[in-house]
């Protein structure tokens, strides 16, 4: 069921394998209906049934019957729409911008579809722990300085892009603090 740009109500149904349309106009108060048989015989195409629940549930394809006025009458057709929902964000690209004996500066490129980021650090012989949480996508920050490190220690960092669907981790970046550039990426 749908309303068109002229405020006419369109209702479609399949009865005994035939597609029917009913159209009522706003000027009639939607009480005077014109009925059309859009397709006689089994409602199928070369790729199978088009106007059914199976295609919607399994292929996320919505078929809407349409009227198209022409000089020699009205043509009827199915307009198909593929419904694509949101996906997990893409993986952010994390790198070490600078490091010293007391801090590590990290930067990243924005991940498509990310709403926020979470930065994790793994100390020597430890597990990943959250260093910065909920770094907002719209904050314009694409860098972070971790001042909670010890001189001469090895650390691993990973950045997680987050949205309402899921999350995606960056590659792991390794760094040894101490003033020389020892950063590597996995």
174's tokens: 């390794």
The chain-wide mean pLDDT, for the chain, equals 78
More confident residue, 165 or 41: 165
The secondary element (H helix, E strand) that includes residue 56 is helix 53-59
**38 band by pLDDT with thresholds 50, 70 and 90:** low
For the chain, the structural domain boundaries read 2-82, 93-185
**CB neighbours (10 Å) of residue 161?**
26
β-bridge partners, 107: 95, 143
What pLDDT is stored for residue 39 in this prediction?
A: 55
Mean pLDDT of 69-80: 72
% the chain with pLDDT above 70: 69
The pTM score is 0.53
Structure tokens at 37: 């048989």
Residues 113, 115, 118, CA angle at the centre, nearest 5°?
115
Each residue's pLDDT tens digit, 8-21: 887 877 766 666 77
Per-residue pLDDT band at 183 (split at 50, 70, 90): low
Please enumerate in sequence order all residues whose Cβ is within 8 A of that of 150, keeping only pairs 6 or more positions apart, or say none: 177
pLDDT mean over 163-177:
92
For 93-185, the fitting CATH number among 2.60.40.1180, 3.40.50.300, 3.40.50.10860, 2.60.40.10 is 2.60.40.10
């Amino acid at each position: 069921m749908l309303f068109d740009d002229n405020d006419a109500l369109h209702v479609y149904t399949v009865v005994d394998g035939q597609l029917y349309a009913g159209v009522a106009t706003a000027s009639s108060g939607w009480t005077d209906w014109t009925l059309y048989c859009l397709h006689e015989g089994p409602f199928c195409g070369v790729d199978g049934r088009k106007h059914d629940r199976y295609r919607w549930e399994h292929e996320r394809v919505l078929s809407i019957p349409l009227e198209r006025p022409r000089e020699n009458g009205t043509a009827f057709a199915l307009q198909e729409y593929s419904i694509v929902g949101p996906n997990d964000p893409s993986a952010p690209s994390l790198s070490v911008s600078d490091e010293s004996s007391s801090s590590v500066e990290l930067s990243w490129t924005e991940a498509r579809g990310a709403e926020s980021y979470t930065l994790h650090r793994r100390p020597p012989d430890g597990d990943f722990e959250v260093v910065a949480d909920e770094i907002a996508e719209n904050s314009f920050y694409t860098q972070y300085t971790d001042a909670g490190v010890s001189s001469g220690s090895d650390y691993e960092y990973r950045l997680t892009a987050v949205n309402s669907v899921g999350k995606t981790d960056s590659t792991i970046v390794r760094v040894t603090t101490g003033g020389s550039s020892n950063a590597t990426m996995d």
